[in-house]
């Protein structure tokens, strides 16, 4: 099993910044990708950004230029620096990891989510 611990959410005014983190632990042989998704009230869960273990990032168009995803492979931890936040960024942010466990089985795990609220 793998545990994902997210932190860094909170309440911020529009234009402000937050930094989310997601630490993975447990049965991890190697991480393939880590990603952030978000789900606003009444909406589906949407992909926000992802990063490979090699550090190659990808971003959803709406956050490009405002959010920066990074990974610390030594600590199996991913970060999302969110700048110039807008009320539309308000959502529960979920961490996702795709990895190989000790049996070389590809697995997918989700965190519990962390609330981000941006006031106007």
> Distance between CA 5 and CA 20 in Å, rounded?
11
pLDDT at 44: 97
Q: What average pLDDT does this structure show over 74-86?
A: 97
Per-residue pLDDT reduced to its tens digit, 33-76: 999 999 999 999 999 999 999 999 999 999 999 999 999 999 99
> Distance between CA 90 and CA 106 in Å, rounded?
31
Please state, for a pLDDT cut of 70, what percent of the chain lies above it: 100
């Amino acid at each position: 099993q793998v545990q994902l611990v997210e932190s860094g959410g909170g309440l911020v005014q529009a234009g402000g910044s937050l930094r989310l983190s997601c630490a993975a632990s447990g049965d991890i042989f190697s991480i393939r990708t880590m990603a952030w998704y978000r789900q606003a009230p009444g909406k589906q869960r949407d992909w926000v950004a992802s990063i490979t273990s090699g550090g190659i990032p990808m971003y959803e168009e709406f956050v490009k230029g405002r959010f920066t995803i990074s990974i610390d492979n030594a600590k199996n931890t991913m970060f999302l620096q969110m700048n110039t936040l807008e009320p539309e960024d308000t959502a529960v942010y979920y961490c996702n990891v795709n990895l190989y466990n000790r049996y070389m089985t590809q697995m997918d795990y989700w965190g519990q989510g962390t609330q981000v609220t941006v006031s106007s």
